[in-house]
Amino acid sequence: MNKLFKTGLVLTAAVIFSLFGFSKAFGYGGGGVTSSAPAPVVTAINVPLSLSGTQEGTLVQNNDGLVTRLVVTPGTISGNATFAIMTSSDSAAVGGAIFNINASDLNGNQVHNFSNNLNITLSGLNLPADVSGLGVYYFNETTSTWTLVPGATFNADGSVSFSVNHLTKFAVFAKNSVPTVSSNQAVLGVQKYSVGSLLRSKETGKIHVIIANGTLQYVPNMAELMKYHGRATVTVSESVIASYNQVLGAKKYADGTLLRAKGDVKIFVVINGVKVHIKSLAELHKYAGHPILETE
């Protein structure tokens, strides 16, 4: 179970439209989106949670059985914010998991501190019967150290609950074996994103949606992107995009066709209509003699 990830900038889809000029790029003009008064209570399951300062919200994220529940009370934020939860793996953590909980405002700026406490519950960690030597820790971005969260409660159902007024990475560690992290050490590896997440390539600006575990589909125009209006978009490196299989668009290629984007070194093979990245020379050798088609 790969839950390693790289962190990325979280933006709402609406901000993506304005910041990166999708209306102009896709040939769509002005016009607005009308909406009714916001609901007082919002619940999001396995998708980012977008709230205004007057709303109460609950975000439940299940990543391969690791379940995070985040509760935001009215008045916690000023203006609007989008909350997202991602997981990574770390063998030093109890349950092998680190939980990255973040929020961003409408301008795409990360929001770290809040007026009220946020209530967080982590479950699926397979905690031991004796939890007396365990603690919940947050990653201090300034000092690059794991710091104990006071007042955490280990519940009878195997979950752990705590309240904080800031967001960062969280994990459960044995108190006598909290890892030391240097300032230049990467804390997180490859992102584990849930189905329905929108990923934007930092290098190309192209947006993809995850339609199944390990499979991306390119969002080609404004009309398609509007289907995900209000959903957070995470900016990632092109290497993260390339790590996924990709559903091909209107142009069809026969299974076994080798494809390479113009100006790129990565080679893909078409399998059941999906582009699959060839990650090794040994794998590429299976297609010896096949021509490699260059695509836009």
pLDDT digit string, tens, across residues 23-75: 333 333 444 444 567 789 999 999 899 999 999 999 999 988 899 999 999 99
Mean pLDDT computed over 193-198: 74
Given a contact cutoff of 8 angstroms between Cβ atoms, the answer to whether 260 and 267 are in contact is: yes
Prediction pTM value:
0.54
Bridge partners (DSSP) of residue 199 are: 208, 234
pLDDT value at 127 more than 70: yes
pLDDT value at 205 more than 80: yes
pLDDT value at 129 more than 80: yes
Nearest Cα to Cα of residue 261 among 201, 212, 215: 201
Query: Average pLDDT of the chain?
Result: 78
Q: Which domains does the chain have, with CATH numbers?
A: 9-174 (2.60.220.30), 198-295 (no CATH)
pLDDT value at 87 more than 50: yes
- Residue-level pLDDT at 234: 78
Q: Please tell me the least confidently modeled range out of 32-36, 88-92, 223-227.
A: 32-36
In whole angstroms, how far apart are CA 104 and each of 17, 33, 79?
16, 21, 11
- Residue-level pLDDT at 175: 92
Q: Please tell me the least confidently modeled range out of 10-19, 137-146, 157-166, 276-285.
A: 10-19
Mean pLDDT computed over 257-270: 79
Mean pLDDT computed over 274-292: 80
